[in-house]
């Protein structure tokens, strides 16, 4: 497990041993878990996104563009 990104709006965790990525939208309290080709595509898109300086609105747009995979509510243990 590796924390890739921790921001007040979003949290991204990479699970390389499982070929998976978890993305948490802190605004909406929703989380999505992606595996295989979907995780690889997300890693690629997120890498491109991070390679350029972005403002908060662009980050919100990026999160919103992936809202379809964030289908689970965040639960606290």
pTM of the model: 0.84
Q: Where are the beta strands (DSSP E) in the chain?
A: 2-6, 10-15, 20-25, 30-35, 72-73
5-22 pLDDT, tens digit each: 999 999 999 999 999 999
Mean pLDDT, residues 31-57: 93
Provide the pLDDT confidence category of residue 4 given band limits of 50, 70 and 90.
very high
What's the token pair of residue 69? 């995979």
Alpha-carbon torsion angle 38, 44, 45, 51, nearest 10: 160
């Amino acid at each position: 497990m590796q924390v890739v990104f921790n921001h007040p709006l979003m949290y991204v965790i990479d699970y390389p041993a499982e070929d998976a990525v978890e993305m948490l939208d802190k605004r909406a309290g929703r989380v999505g878990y992606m595996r295989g080709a979907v995780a690889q595509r997300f890693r690629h898109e997120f890498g491109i996104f991070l390679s350029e300086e972005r403002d908060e609105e662009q980050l919100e747009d990026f999160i919103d563009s992936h809202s379809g995979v964030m289908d689970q509510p965040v639960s606290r243990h």
